Amino acid sequence: MPLFQSHEVQYKASYPSIGACPKTTKPEYAFIGRSNVGKSSLINMLTGRNGLARISKKPGKTQMINYFEVGQEWYLVDLPGYGYAKISKKKRKEWEVMIEGYLQHRKTLACVFLLIDANVPAQKIDLEFMNWLGLKQIPFVIIYTKTDRLKPHQVQPNIEKIQKGFLEEWEALPQQFVTSSVSKNGRKEILDFIANLNQQINEDT
């Protein structure tokens, strides 16, 4: 059973900086990954709202901190992707300041969902971002995306190769989820994870 109905998911607003983000006590879950990693498709799958997050073949369409309220209980926060988006150096720097400011200083941020494309080997830029999250002690988990583009027997070997690449610098990896925006694989596991973390947060406050 879903934890919420699709009509209970609402786009709230987009903000250019952490200072502009809403004052709230609701937990926030941020989604981020390389440009064109399948973030919009994943968000639409998780919320059950096709078209909620804009899907584009051109990287770099998410340019602000986008807030979606889920079941009036928590916020799904869509952050700009990092990587090969065709933007100017000035705009890229602005994004870095915006993203890093939000991730480091947003007190209601409960967890970061780091999206990794299951189709490609471990990428240096992903590892660098993981290392930065670890250095700043920002809690995060990993979501493997685009598994629907692989044959079933290819999924696990591909993920194991990615993990091996990450484990060259990490002693152990955080919790991981394998997803497909087509089959909705991983949806229940991720939403259960969020629900359990929300419960822990409520019990601690």
Q: What is the pLDDT of residue 8?
A: 87
Q: What is the pLDDT of residue 173?
A: 98
Residue 22 lies in a domain: yes
Give the residue numbers spanning the domain of 177: 6-198
Say whether 14 sits in a helix, a strand or coil: strand
Residue 203 lies in a domain: no
Number of Cβ atoms within 10 Å of the Cβ of 110: 18
Residue 205 lies in a domain: no
Answer for the pair 48, 131: CB distance below 8 angstroms, yes or no.
Answer: no
Distant-in-sequence, close-in-space partners of 60: CB < 8 Å, separation ≥ 6? 35, 80, 81, 85, 86, 87
CA–CA gap between residue 75 and residue 93 (Å, rounded): 26
Q: What is the pLDDT of residue 61?
A: 54
Domain count, the chain: 1
Q: What is the pLDDT of residue 149?
A: 94
Q: In a structure prediction context, what are the per-residue pLDDT tens digits for the chain, which is 205 residues long?
A: 456 776 689 999 999 999 999 999 999 999 999 988 999 999 999 999 887 876 444 444 568 999 999 999 999 999 998 876 567 788 788 889 999 999 999 999 999 999 999 999 999 999 999 999 999 999 999 999 999 999 999 999 999 999 999 999 999 999 999 999 999 999 999 999 999 999 999 998 7
Residue 64 sits in a domain of what CATH number? 3.40.50.300
Q: What is the pLDDT of residue 90?
A: 85
Phi, psi of 102 (to 5 degrees): -65, -50
Residue 162 lies in a domain: yes
